[in-house]
Amino acid sequence: DTAVSQTPKYLVTQMGNDKSIKCEQNLGHDTMYWYKQDSKKFLKIMFSYNNKELIINETVPNRFSPKSPDKAHLNLHINSLELGDSAVYFCASSQAVTSGSQYFGAGTRLSVL
């Protein structure tokens, strides 16, 4: 059983389209995150939810909108995709809201053409 699973694994789309990435964790954690990894492998946090409540919202274009229907799920919707959005997006979860000990999904590689 995969602890943190995200779909799809690969996403290829045209500029201007809207797309969503889904994430689910079966670890019973209260806190979930979205990270973006650029082409140089640098990871940067985008959002975090604790028990369905948004607690971290970094400087991310408002074209990106996270949504947490319940504490086991955190989805990411991206409107009007741009070339610069191409990256690998990782979902993660942690047991405690202040914990740096996080469990990551396998990533979604987004390519905007």
Partner 1 sequence: TQLLEQSPQFLSIQEGENLTVYCNSSSVFSSLQWYRQEPGEGPVLLVTVVTGGEVKKLKRLTFQFGDARKDSSLHITAAQPGDTGLYLCAGVLNAGGTSYGKLTFGQGTILTVHP
Please give the residues from 29 up to 48 whose contact with partner 1 meets the rule CB under 8 A.
31, 33, 35, 40-45, 48
**DSSP letter, residue 76:** E
Residue 79 is a binding residue for partner 1 (CB under 8 A):
no
Residue 107 is a binding residue for partner 1 (CB under 8 A):
yes
Residue 97 is a binding residue for partner 1 (CB under 8 A):
yes
Of 25 and 78, which CB lies nearer to partner 1 in the complex structure?
25
Interface with partner 1 by CB under 8 A: which range of 13-21, 61-69, 73-81, 88-96?
Answer: 88-96
Long-range residue pairs from 45-54, CB within 8 A, at least 24 positions apart, any chain: 46/76, 47/74, 47/76, 49/74, 50/97
Residue 94 is a binding residue for partner 1 (CB under 8 A):
yes
The strand pairing partners of 94, in sequence order, are 31
- How far apart (Å, rounded) are the C-alpha atoms in residues 75 and 82? 19
- How far apart (Å, rounded) are the C-alpha atoms in residues 21 and 110? 10
How many binding residues for partner 1 (CB under 8 A)? 29
In the complex, the smallest distance separating the C-beta of residue 43 from partner 1, rounded to whole angstroms, is: 4
- How far apart (Å, rounded) are the C-alpha atoms in residues 18 and 110? 12
Binding site for partner 1 (CB under 8 A): 4, 31, 33, 35, 40-45, 48, 50, 55-56, 90, 92, 94, 96-107
